[in-house]
Amino acid sequence: MEYLAPKKFAVPLNREKVARSWTQRGYSCDLFVDPPGREWNDFVHSTNELVTVVEGKLRMTIDGQEIIAEEGDEVFIPKGAQHSVKNIHHSTTRWLYGHD
């Protein structure tokens, strides 16, 4: 399964444009701000999730498949998929996430 849509959104990323796109597709849109090295491990949701990096870089593992998400990329995480996220940027990473 393809989880990564590279450069889905133009950089610098406009949060309002992402929110409009996601709302039209039935998703919420919220912001996480993570310091370097922050990890979120082994999550499973009962809904689909979208992630887009505003600033920085994330390493994501979705059902055992590792991907690198950079600014403007969109990542799809299907419901029921075990996933982890780590900020691998040298600085703060800001990223949007939404659930359907």
> Alpha-carbon distance 89 to 21, whole Å?
26
Residue 53's domain spans which residues?
A: 4-99
Nearest to 53, CA basis, from 63, 37, 36, 68: 68
> Alpha-carbon distance 70 to 47, whole Å?
23
Confidence check: pLDDT of 39 > 90:
yes
Confidence check: pLDDT of 82 > 90:
yes
Identify the pLDDT of residue 46.
98
pTM of the predicted model, to two decimals? Answer: 0.95
The domain total for the chain is 1
Identify the pLDDT of residue 41.
97
CATH number for the domain harbouring residue 31: 2.60.120.10
What confidence tier does 97 reach under pLDDT thresholds 50, 70, 90?
A: very high
Confidence check: pLDDT of 1 > 90:
no
Identify the pLDDT of residue 93.
97
